């Protein structure tokens, strides 16, 4: 599943390719989930200029000049596609296609059909974004959910937006905190280490993706991760990487990471 660094680069590249273009038509292909009727979505964006694309937690938001917003959650297997009207019939597993006046096409595709599209989603307050969460907010979350394992807390999109399984492991290794530590057992110095590790890991990953895969709008590239890679046997510091399921999530960690109990 794409995580915050992937989605950040997707949004940057989609904005670069599509901002300023006017929608000719949109089509929903009866796959995935849609929160309104197909006609309502298509009417909302037809003729509108795309004015911006941005990541919102683990979703990508498309803003239009008429005030409408479309949010896409790619879920596990979804992806974006940039193509053109002449090749639209070659798009496999389409969920949504948006054709612009110049003939370019934005597609959302998903083999499993789990991706979701939302027109003007509700105004419920989003969780703090992972790139902006503070040590004080983390401390409050740990007090609020003291029995929750810290990895599960990082993955809870209702609490912190944007972190998925792979980057949770990378963050916890960088902070040297065991994923099996209950959140309420973390001492203040561990919470501060976690607060420092979250933006460090995510921003480093964004920089790596921009450098290695500058045009990406789909896919997950993990070749630069330090512990969450199946082929790795040891961390950069030489510690053996332990691979096991922790609360149903495939987890990679080392004995360098302290277990707080």
Q: Is the dihedral of CA 88, 91, 97, 98 positive or negative?
A: negative
Mean of all residue pLDDT scores within the chain: 96
Element (H, E) at 244: strand 242-246
Of 91, 119, 147, the one marking the end of a domain is 119
The encoded tokens of residue 2 equal 């794409």
Domains held by the chain: number: 2
Mean pLDDT, to the nearest integer, of 232-252? 96
What's the number of CA atoms in the CB half-sphere (13 Å) around residue 132? Answer: 8
pLDDT in tens, 69-82: 999 999 999 999 99
47, 105: one domain? yes
16, 89: one domain? yes
**What residues make up the domain containing 95?**
4-119
19, 95: one domain? yes
pLDDT in tens, 106-115: 999 999 999 9
- Residue 123's pLDDT is 61
pTM above 0.85, yes or no: yes
Tell me what percent of the residues of the chain surpass a pLDDT of 70.
Answer: 98
- Residue 125's pLDDT is 67
Of 66, 91, 119, the one marking the end of a domain is 119
Tell me what percent of the residues of the chain surpass a pLDDT of 90.
Answer: 96
Cα separations in angstroms, 39 against 28, 48, 117, 249, 251 = 9, 15, 14, 39, 43
CATH code at position 50: 3.20.190.10
Nearest to 91 by CA among 76, 103, 105, 72: 105
Edge-first strand order for the sheet with 94-100 is: 23-28, 94-100, 104-110, 78-84
Is 60 exceeded by the pLDDT of residue 126?
Answer: yes
């Amino acid at each position: 599943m794409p995580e915050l660094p992937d989605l950040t680069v997707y949004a940057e590249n989609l904005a670069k390719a599509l901002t300023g273009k006017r929608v000719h038509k949109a089509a929903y292909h009866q796959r995935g989930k849609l929160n309104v009727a197909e006609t309502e979505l298509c009417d909302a964006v037809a003729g509108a200029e795309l004015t911006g694309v941005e990541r919102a937690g683990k979703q990508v938001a498309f803003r239009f000049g008429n005030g409408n917003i479309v949010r896409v959650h790619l879920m596990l297997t979804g992806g974006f596609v940039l193509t053109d009207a002449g090749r639209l019939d070659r798009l496999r597993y389409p969920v949504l296609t948006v054709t612009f006046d110049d003939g370019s096409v934005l597609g959302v595709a998903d083999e499993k059909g789990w991706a979701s599209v939302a027109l003007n989603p509700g105004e419920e307050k989003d969780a703090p974004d992972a790139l902006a969460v503070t040590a004080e907010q983390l401390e409050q979350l740990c007090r609020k959910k003291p029995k929750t394992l810290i990895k599960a807390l990082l993955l809870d999109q209702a609490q912190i937006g944007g972190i998925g399984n792979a980057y949770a492991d990378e963050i916890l290794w960088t902070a040297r905190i065991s994923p099996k530590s209950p959140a309420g057992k973390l001492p203040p110095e561990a919470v501060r280490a976690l607060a420092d590790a979250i933006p460090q890991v995510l921003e480093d990953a964004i920089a790596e993706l921009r450098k290695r895969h500058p045009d990406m709008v789909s896919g997950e590239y993990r070749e630069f991760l330090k512990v969450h890679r199946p082929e790795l046997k040891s961390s950069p510091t030489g510690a053996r990487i332990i691979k096991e399921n922790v609360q149903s999530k495939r987890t990679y960690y080392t004995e360098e990471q302290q277990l707080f109990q």
